[in-house]
Structure 1
Amino acid sequence: MGYEAKLVKPAIKVATFLDKFPKIYNIYVVAIISCISGMMFGFDIASMSAFIGIKQYRDFFNSPDSNLQGIISASMALGSIFGSLASSFVSEPFGRRVSLFLCAFFWVVGAAIQSSVQNVAQLIIGRFISGFGVGFGSTVAPVYGSELSPRKIRGLVGCCFQFSVTLGILIMFYISYGLHFVNGTASFRIAWGLQIVPGLVLILGLFFIPESPRWMAKQGFWDKCESIVAEIHAKGDKDDPDVLIEVAEIKDQLQSEKDAKAFTYADLFTKRYIGRTTIAVFGQIWQQLTGMNTLMYYIVYIFKMAGYSGNTLLVSSSIQYVLNTVMTIPAFYLIDRFGRRPILLIGATLMMAFQFAIGGILASYSEKVDSFEGDTTIRLHIPKSQSSASKGVIASCYLFVVSFASTWGVCIWVYCAEIWGDNLCRQRGAAVATSSNWMFNFAIAMFTPSAFKNITWKTYFVFATFCGTMFIHVFFFFPETKGKRLEEIGQMWDAGVPAWKTAPWKPTVPLIDDDNMHEKFSITHGETGGTSSKSSDGASNNAHAV
């Protein structure tokens, strides 16, 4: 008996318990609740970036050098690597909601440890535990959203995760900014303790949102699956054409997979799945190699290089977080209007230009120093006599953030959740892709302080080169997924369509004729209505009736 088969009964008990509570089926409310996990990530980024340059933090932790600060910042990402890989072992047998519950639980525990911190070791442990929880949330929340949302707004719903990250950064940065006026350790302890709040809100919200219908179907609960799809797509109308087609495609997909062996991580690298695995993994890697998290974690260092200090530094930094949040909103419209490929290509081009601009201005106008205001990580800064150059660096940083927020920041989470196509590989594939994101997040958090110290302005040229490389990769290998059902995306991979020809591609034999679907499904739906919730044969008959 396989691992998942042994856990069927416990999974049923967990799902039954959670389903005793009344449910919210508004897809936007469901997305907001599940994406609180993204807000947690944002809280963590801001609560660290706002304090690394202030006196209270540096005095209590004995002014961490560039290597130690890199370890402190990266410890959260390290925990997230393990959390994202572990998520599929929970999400597959127990459901998406249980994974999100563990996300919130570990986050709360980690935040409590951080708020009571006594030394660097405890801070690192607390951040690692919080990161383990974020790894669950960042893997499961985008997949959960893609499985629940109607295809026409799947991009918009997927944007909620990244928007919640940016909103979390903004909220926590201003909280931290206010608290930095508090003397002593209370300044950062209160900020880190407040991180518990979104974790508790997520735990409460999970009792009132439905399970993924695709997960329900995989467990054999067809009636539950159909009810959830009907509530989400048509306010409970099971005769609605969109409901009929969605349920039929899920049944058809699962029927084709029922005789397959238990899907493992190794299967992601077989001939059939290696293409989509490579794209999803590199999509997440490239997002990190844009250099965005260099500006998120270490914005204080960058503005010091530009000659800013004190309150002026923190206020100027906060503008970046406002832009990051506000410019995420246009992506809600753009991603489903213009598609994933154009957004990724334009974003890579703009980010490359602004990274070269930051590095070029620093190379031309900055002066070498041994330290800046006692911080040995800063080895160059622009003198006050070159105020125009300082403003140029800040403007380039702001424009870079705008470019990232409206393109790669949002799009890649949506893209990597839907690119898999079929149900068989989606959760484990998303786990591998998200863990890749966290691996490079960890590497960049470790690398950046030392890079600022040793290669200074050349750091930005490194990231600019990566942006140029990702443009080429996207153009030749990233297929378009806009407007396609998840099951159609799987067909597209099997057909081997070149990436640049995928936007207009349609299945040779469409899954369903949308124009006449209601007539075609009236009989089929009548059959499904009397099907036992655990009958795989019934699912098969209904699927083939399509």
Structure 2
Amino acid sequence: MYTITNIYMLAAFGTIGGALFGFDVSSMSAWIGVDTYTDYFGSPDSNLQGGITASMSAGSFAGSIAAGWLSDILGRRYALMIASLVWIMGAMVQCSAQNVTHLVAGRVVSGLAVGVTSSQTCVYLSELAPAHIRGRVVGIQQWAIEWGILIMYLIAYGCVVGVHGTAAFRICWGVQAVPGLILFIALFFFPESPRWLASQERWEEALDTLAIIHANGDRHDPVVQVAFEEVQEAVRVVHESQDVSFLALFGPRVWKRTMCGMSVQMWQQLLGGNVAMYYVVYIFEMASMTGNTTLWSSAIQYAIFLVTTGFMLPFIDRIGRRNLLLLGSVACMIVHFIIASVMASKGNPVPNVNGNANLTWEIKGNAGMTVIAFSYIFTGIYGLTWAPIAWIYAAEVFPLKYRAKGVGLSAATNWIFNFALAYFVAPAFHNIQWKTYIIFGVFCTVMTCHVFFTYPETVGRSLEEIDLVFEADIKPWRTNEIGDNFGQETERRRDLSAKMDIGGTTHEVV
């Protein structure tokens, strides 16, 4: 069978798993202000709407917890294939929803699939990608999420304006099955992760996969040889130790990595991205937008999100993880406090906004345009920094033995906070209005300190070399001082190979 070997092609198809998450986000956000949806489902109040929106995150939490176990037993590829089939089932259940309970059930089923794909796609791509481009390859996962958000939002918009009755949202939710089917078929042509193959002692297959990914099939290429030796050493350590439980992730030599992986996913949510993604329609309605204008303004925000992340991907392995996380948290903190101050000083309480009783605060005129402008700015900053980096960093920090379960637990952290915030934001806009942004601004302040003092730099290092970074007794803000052993060893072997080619032999001791 033909196997896809180009790493960018693998990333393009593999990150359809991220697009599934994006599809589900905007499949709901586009409908919360549309009469067809609200009338059919009994005009859900802010608490019920929060529950409907958050139900997908609840399923994703459960899926993320199970993902590590599934991926370790069956392999990264088969875990993603199973998730694709579950996603298709979830889309069918949502498409046929007859009431709120039926809809929530469909979103939970879809969430189970997203929990697996959101964590194990990162694991899979990080284990395939060369160290010097790993950030941009794994970062494509986040870009795919954003493509999914925008594409589904535009499909939903087309259904809102062009389809009458309940068929509008049924078509929208049914279309979600298409990317799941594409991913399922594409995975038949994907190689398995070389690190997972090695963990199963399928050494020849692991070496072949490393060769076709890194050197067009040349097993003797220095990059392939050094990578294979590192994988062998990592597997040796795995076999000398006991099986991994979730409790083991908090053991003496691993807990710092687990805290980094879990907290970077937690902070990504507490940065406030859910405000911009799930409830963007609410924000624009409070700023006095109505009808199709609100929908198109929301689409512009999703397009900004897509463009900024796409712009950053080519540079993401040059700037460094810490720098982008710190820049993003500080900038988003400033934006949140500005939006809160504008809403507090220029807005006023109202019984409802354009008949929507879930909203009790209004900002008109230039002040409303200012809120919209800074919402766009926030989305751009988020797309440049925390949106892609959180997934990349969580996929890098765990050693082979702990990687599948560790990234699964990190993704579960993302989803449990995603659930909490998806549920919280709608009632927050109703009850505390502009103070919602103060809360997110404070979160940004705390995460800035946490990142600076506890997150070591991982950019440009092999996954096995990152182990040395965490084991070194050096402050996180000084980890760039640790040498690049992988790169140095690769260059040494290339120089040695060149000498042998020229002289036919060498007396240098290897």
Tell me if the contact between 2:361 and 2:433 (Cα under 8 Å) persists in the aligned partners. Answer: yes
Kindly tell me: are residues 214 and 520 of structure 1, through their superposed partners in 2, closer, same or farther at Cα, counting changes over 3 Å? farther
Report the equivalent of 1:71.
Answer: 51
2:382 maps to amino acid: F
Kindly tell me: are residues 312 and 510 of structure 1, through their superposed partners in 2, closer, same or farther at Cα, counting changes over 3 Å? closer
- Structure 1's consecutive aligned runs of 4 or more residues displaced over 3 angstroms after TM superposition are 509-512, 518-522
1:513 maps to amino acid: E
Establish whether residue 206 from structure 1 lines up as the match of residue 183 from structure 2: no
| Alpha-carbon distance between aligned partners in 2 of 1:510 and 1:332, rounded to the nearest angstrom | 23
**258-267 vs 221-230, greater mean Cα deviation:** 258-267
Query: Per-residue deviation at 1:520?
Result: 6.8
Report the equivalent of 1:408.
Answer: 386
**284-293 vs 250-259, greater mean Cα deviation:** 250-259
| Alpha-carbon distance between aligned partners in 2 of 1:511 and 1:152, rounded to the nearest angstrom | 10
Report the equivalent of 2:437.
Answer: 460
| Alpha-carbon distance between aligned partners in 1 of 2:36 and 2:486, rounded to the nearest angstrom | 63
Report the equivalent of 1:168.
Answer: 148
Map 1:1-400 to 2 at 5 A.
21-181=1-161, 182-383=163-364, 387-400=365-378
| Alpha-carbon distance between aligned partners in 2 of 1:197 and 1:167, rounded to the nearest angstrom | 14
Tell me if the contact between 2:83 and 2:114 (Cα under 8 Å) persists in the aligned partners. Answer: yes
Query: Per-residue deviation at 1:382?
Result: 1.5
Query: Per-residue deviation at 1:272?
Result: 0.5
1:465 maps to amino acid: V
1:491 maps to amino acid: L
| Alpha-carbon distance between aligned partners in 1 of 2:491 and 2:59, rounded to the nearest angstrom | 49
| Alpha-carbon distance between aligned partners in 1 of 2:362 and 2:99, rounded to the nearest angstrom | 31
Establish whether residue 419 from structure 1 lines up as the match of residue 393 from structure 2: no
Report the equivalent of 2:493.
Answer: 517
2:282 maps to amino acid: Y
Count how many residue pairs are aligned between Structure 1 and Structure 2. Answer: 499
Kindly tell me: are residues 521 and 131 of structure 1, through their superposed partners in 2, closer, same or farther at Cα, counting changes over 3 Å? farther
| Alpha-carbon distance between aligned partners in 2 of 1:510 and 1:376, rounded to the nearest angstrom | 59
Query: Per-residue deviation at 1:521?
Result: 8.7
| Alpha-carbon distance between aligned partners in 1 of 2:144 and 2:202, rounded to the nearest angstrom | 32
Task: Name the SS of the counterpart of 1:258 in structure 2.
Answer: helix
Establish whether residue 498 from structure 1 lines up as the match of residue 478 from structure 2: no
Tell me if the contact between 2:226 and 2:489 (Cα under 8 Å) persists in the aligned partners. Answer: no
Tell me if the contact between 1:67 and 1:449 (Cα under 8 Å) persists in the aligned partners. Answer: yes
2:391 maps to amino acid: W
1:260-298 CA distances to partner (integer Å, 9 max, x unpaired)? 111111111111001010111100000000111121111
Task: Name the SS of the counterpart of 1:242 in structure 2.
Answer: helix
Tell me if the contact between 2:266 and 2:413 (Cα under 8 Å) persists in the aligned partners. Answer: yes
| Alpha-carbon distance between aligned partners in 2 of 1:94 and 1:295, rounded to the nearest angstrom | 37
Report the equivalent of 1:13.
Answer: none
| Alpha-carbon distance between aligned partners in 1 of 2:116 and 2:497, rounded to the nearest angstrom | 38
2:46 maps to amino acid: S
Query: Per-residue deviation at 1:411?
Result: 0.8
| Alpha-carbon distance between aligned partners in 1 of 2:397 and 2:486, rounded to the nearest angstrom | 19
**489-498 vs 334-343, greater mean Cα deviation:** 489-498
2:11 maps to amino acid: A
1:387-437 CA distances to partner (integer Å, 9 max, x unpaired)? 2111100000000000000100011111110011x2111111101110000
**42-51 vs 498-507, greater mean Cα deviation:** 498-507
Unaligned runs of 5+ in 2: 499-508
Query: Per-residue deviation at 1:373?
Result: 2.1
2:376 maps to amino acid: Y
| Alpha-carbon distance between aligned partners in 2 of 1:513 and 1:34, rounded to the nearest angstrom | 31
1:516 maps to amino acid: R
Aligned sequence identity (%): 43
Query: Per-residue deviation at 1:510?
Result: 6.9
Tell me if the contact between 2:38 and 2:44 (Cα under 8 Å) persists in the aligned partners. Answer: yes
Task: Name the SS of the counterpart of 1:287 in structure 2.
Answer: helix
| Alpha-carbon distance between aligned partners in 2 of 1:510 and 1:53, rounded to the nearest angstrom | 53
1:182-225 CA distances to partner (integer Å, 9 max, x unpaired)? 22101110000000000000110010010000000010111100
| Alpha-carbon distance between aligned partners in 2 of 1:513 and 1:186, rounded to the nearest angstrom | 61
Tell me if the contact between 1:74 and 1:441 (Cα under 8 Å) persists in the aligned partners. Answer: yes
| Alpha-carbon distance between aligned partners in 1 of 2:428 and 2:350, rounded to the nearest angstrom | 15
Query: Per-residue deviation at 1:333?
Result: 2.2
| Alpha-carbon distance between aligned partners in 1 of 2:481 and 2:11, rounded to the nearest angstrom | 29
Tell me if the contact between 1:245 and 1:512 (Cα under 8 Å) persists in the aligned partners. Answer: no
Task: Name the SS of the counterpart of 1:157 in structure 2.
Answer: helix
1:498-546 CA distances to partner (integer Å, 9 max, x unpaired)? 1001123127x87962332247799xxxxxxxxxxxxxxxxxxxxxx98
1:195 maps to amino acid: Q
| Alpha-carbon distance between aligned partners in 2 of 1:510 and 1:202, rounded to the nearest angstrom | 33
Query: Per-residue deviation at 1:375?
Result: 1.4
Query: Per-residue deviation at 1:492?
Result: 1.6
**28-37 vs 77-86, greater mean Cα deviation:** 28-37
**348-357 vs 197-206, greater mean Cα deviation:** 348-357
1:86-122 CA distances to partner (integer Å, 9 max, x unpaired)? 0111100110011101211111101000011100000
Kindly tell me: are residues 37 and 418 of structure 1, through their superposed partners in 2, closer, same or farther at Cα, counting changes over 3 Å? same
2:431 maps to amino acid: N
Unaligned runs of 5+ in 1: 1-20, 523-544
| Alpha-carbon distance between aligned partners in 1 of 2:237 and 2:54, rounded to the nearest angstrom | 42
| Alpha-carbon distance between aligned partners in 1 of 2:27 and 2:105, rounded to the nearest angstrom | 16
| Alpha-carbon distance between aligned partners in 2 of 1:72 and 1:314, rounded to the nearest angstrom | 20
Report the equivalent of 1:438.
Answer: 415
2:207 maps to amino acid: E
